[in-house]
């Protein structure tokens, strides 16, 4: 290597072809300026030891004239180089194992990708977001419901399996006519049975097999007691049924068929068929409606102090109800249910006035009230 004028550096290589190529390039780059031929010094093998030397590339600085001439060319070349760089694929350095890429290339690729991505309108994006939120809420609600179901199932299993909730006591209340043991038997409840296994509705149906039980209330007193509260029907009247008597309440429910005559008013003239006379059955609707008038008659009679002397009430004709008072030897014809209180006041006065006489009192027409004695 040898220094030359104008700080120009030239490199000599062992190959002659390289030297020729260099001269050709210099001629092309500087066609106007003729460079002096310089004979290179003879090269010896001892001049360069390539095994121990490091060759560093140095850029040859052009002259001022070359700068002016090369400006236009450099612009064209720079544009061409940029195009080549843009189209060039990234190289892979096998030694350092990393990609050498151009920032401009990456920028342009990013822009191209952005161009390919479709922009979603704001309203559509808002709808999608709301839809996702709604789906999330639905999933959350389903999970809560499943968790709640699991807890409920666990509690139910514990209540039905645990021996703590087996029945130990059956408490009966509200019974007067029916004894406690009979009600327990009708209920069909068993001791040591799980307190949650029986049906309250079924127990009520079982208890109503006895006609005296109007209604029943079943209560579970945890952990092991069942309370039965019954409401009994009260007999108010009785029907003659052959040589027996049928006890009925104010609603026409047949409570019991007994051979004993109770201290109750006897209803005669009913239309219910003899085949339907049975404990637990009910009188016909026609008879039940007439019982409403009977109740009115007896209520006014009681308020006037003559209830206890009424033995028979005939309801065969709803236009003319009849009451019989054998202890007084008299029969009263009351007509319909109008002005019943006035009729009872007049009847009480006639009974006092005609004491000891047998006969009939006609009250069906308040304008023609009279007593007819039997001869």
* pLDDT tens for each residue of 205-259: 999 999 999 999 999 998 899 999 999 999 999 999 989 999 999 999 999 999 9
CA dihedral 340, 342, 348, 352 (to 10 degrees): -150
Tell me: the pLDDT tens digits for 6-56?
A: 444 444 444 445 454 555 455 444 454 444 444 555 555 555 454 555 555
Q: Domain limits of the chain?
A: 1-67, 125-161, 166-232, 237-373
Q: What is each CA distance from 72 to 14, 31, 85, 255, in whole angstroms?
A: 35, 16, 20, 129
pLDDT tens sequence across 302-338: 999 999 999 999 999 999 999 999 999 999 999 998 9
For residues 340 and 338, give the distance between their C-alpha atoms in angstroms, rounded to a whole number: 5
pLDDT digits (tens, 9 = 90+) for 338-372: 999 999 999 999 999 999 999 999 999 889 999 99
Sequence-distant (≥ 6) Cβ neighbours of residue 21 within 8 angstroms: none
The predicted structure's pLDDT at residue 14 = 44
Residues 6+ apart with CB under 8 A from 339: 366
| 237-373 fold | Rossmann fold (3.40.50)
Which homologous superfamily does the CATH classification assign to the domain defined by 166-232?
membrane protein fhac (3.10.20.310)
pTM exceeding the 0.75 threshold for the entire prediction: no
Q: Would you say 136 and 192 are in contact if contact means Cβ atoms under 8 Å apart? A: no
Measured distance CA(10)–CA(58) in Å, rounded: 9
Within 8 A by CB and 6+ apart from 195, the residues are 165, 166, 167, 220, 222, 223, 224, 226
């Amino acid at each position: 290597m040898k220094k030359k004028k104008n700080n120009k550096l030239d490199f000599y290589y062992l190959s002659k072809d390289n030297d020729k190529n260099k001269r050709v390039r210099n001629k092309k780059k500087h066609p106007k300026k003729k460079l002096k031929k310089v004979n290179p010094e003879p090269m010896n093998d001892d001049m360069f030891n390539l095994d121990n030397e490091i060759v560093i590339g140095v850029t040859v600085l052009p002259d001022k004239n070359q700068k002016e001439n090369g400006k236009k060319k450099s612009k064209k070349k720079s544009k061409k180089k940029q195009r080549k760089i843009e189209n060039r694929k990234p190289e892979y350095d096998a030694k350092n194992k990393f990609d050498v890429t151009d920032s401009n290339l990456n920028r342009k690729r990013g822009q191209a990708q952005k161009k390919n991505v479709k922009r979603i309108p704001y309203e559509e994006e808002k709808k999608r977001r709301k839809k996702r939120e709604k789906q999330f809420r639905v999933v959350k609600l389903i999970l809560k419901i499943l968790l709640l179901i699991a807890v409920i199932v666990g509690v139910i299993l514990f209540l039905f399996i645990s021996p703590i909730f087996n029945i130990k006591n059956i408490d009966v209340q509200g019974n007067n006519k029916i004894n406690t043991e009979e009600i327990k038997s009708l209920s069909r409840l068993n001791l040591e049975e799980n307190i949650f296994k029986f049906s309250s509705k079924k127990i009520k149906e079982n208890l109503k097999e006895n006609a005296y039980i109007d209604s029943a209330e079943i209560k579970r007193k945890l952990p092991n007691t069942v309370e039965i509260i019954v409401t009994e029907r009260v007999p108010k009247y009785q029907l003659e049924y052959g040589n027996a008597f049928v006890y009925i309440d104010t609603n026409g429910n047949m409570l019991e068929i007994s051979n004993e005559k109770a201290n109750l008013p006897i209803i005669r003239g009913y239309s219910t068929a003899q085949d339907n006379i049975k404990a637990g059955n009910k009188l016909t609707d026609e008879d039940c409606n007439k019982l409403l008038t009977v109740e009115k008659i007896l209520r006014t009679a009681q308020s006037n102090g003559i209830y206890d002397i009424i033995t028979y009430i005939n309801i065969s004709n709803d236009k003319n109800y009849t009451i019989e008072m054998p202890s007084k030897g008299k029969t009263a014809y009351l007509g319909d249910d109008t002005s019943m209180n006035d009729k009872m006041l007049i009847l009480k006065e006639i009974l006092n006035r005609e004491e000891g006489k047998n006969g009939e009192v006609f009250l069906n027409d308040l304008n023609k009230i009279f007593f007819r004695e039997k001869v």
